[in-house]
Amino acid sequence: MCECCNGQTDIYLPQMATITKRKMLTDTEVYMHLEMDCGQDLAYQPGQFVEVSLAGIGEAPISISSSPTQKGLELVVRNVGSLTRAIHKLQPGDKLGIRGPYGATYPIEEAKGRNLVFICGGIGLVPQRSFIRYALDHRGNYGKIIVLIGTKTYSMRLFCDEIALWHKRTDMKVLETIDEAHEQWHGNVGVVTTLIPKIENELAGSLVLVCGPPIMYKFVLISLADAHVSKENIYVNLERRMKCGVGKCGHCQINDKYVCQDGPVFRFSELALVPEAI
């Protein structure tokens, strides 16, 4: 965790960060790059999240979208309530409170030497992007990198410019689809599971990392089971269930697991025995 100059490490006390860049990615998602005011970079790993706050309004858990290999912190915030609506009004130079990082990380060490398959649905691309960028910055440590991206509509696509650059790379494969046809879209049309048969021969032995809306998990996991992917090789991100970030409020408890501490990244074989986990 980032420490400010006086050595404060209280888990309930946010540190201040300044917005240095801001860009609307869609009508409802804003991208922000932040720098910690203490002058240190936040010490996080792919898969973790932070609690983002505005004094007098509230706080919410937000996935980290940047890689720890880069300077600063990148977040994508969807406008869904009073806090996020207020965050959307902020501009470069404005400040946010940051608590964290919290949560379990992607298996960056176990994944070394393995092929990686990222299955991203909608805003699920945001946390997955952290590990994708990390793996690309440590390209020699990993095998094939395959990214499947599904978005409901053409206008809801995220990081379009960056994805275009990924398409041009020769050391990764990117397949993208949208649920609803659009006159400007010439790629695959259909839900993200329609992309899985296109890479079925490359799934054996790969680590498969899944993140997206709740309804997506059921059908992606069925498709992966049909492709004979072991539950041990599947990781899912349940970031949507979190609240306080430190296992105190109980909001994210699923039987004996707390998503904010035991997750948000889980090996699927661990959750398969937990009723209602997915």
Q: Is pLDDT above 90 for 248?
A: no
pLDDT of residue 170: 97
90-99, 129-138, 262-271: lowest mean pLDDT where?
Answer: 262-271
Q: Is pLDDT above 60 for 3?
A: no
pLDDT tens profile 59-112 = 999 999 999 999 999 999 999 999 999 999 999 999 999 999 999 999 999 999
Q: Binning pLDDT at 50, 70 and 90, where does residue 273 land?
A: low
What is the C-alpha to C-alpha distance for residues 258 and 255, in angstroms, rounded to an integer?
A: 8
Going 67 to 235 to 212 to 77, the CA torsion angle's sign is negative
Q: Binning pLDDT at 50, 70 and 90, where does residue 253 land?
A: confident
pLDDT of residue 244: 73
What is the C-alpha to C-alpha distance for residues 57 and 192, in angstroms, rounded to an integer?
A: 36
Q: Are the CB atoms for 246 and 267 separated by under 8 Å?
A: no
Helix H segments across the chain?
Answer: 82-88, 125-137, 160-168, 214-226, 259-262, 268-271
- The answer to whether the pTM exceeds 0.75 is yes
The closest of 105, 11, 15 to 52, measured between CA atoms, is: 15
pLDDT tens profile 164-174 = 999 999 999 99
Q: Binning pLDDT at 50, 70 and 90, where does residue 9 land?
A: low
pLDDT of residue 1: 45
**How far is residue 267 CA from its own chain's centroid?**
15
Going 237 to 99 to 108 to 274, the CA torsion angle's sign is negative
79 burial type by CB count under 10 A (0-12 exposed, 13-18 middle, 19+ buried): middle
Q: Is pLDDT above 90 for 133?
A: yes
pLDDT tens profile 149-204 = 999 999 999 999 999 999 999 999 999 999 999 999 999 999 999 999 999 999 99
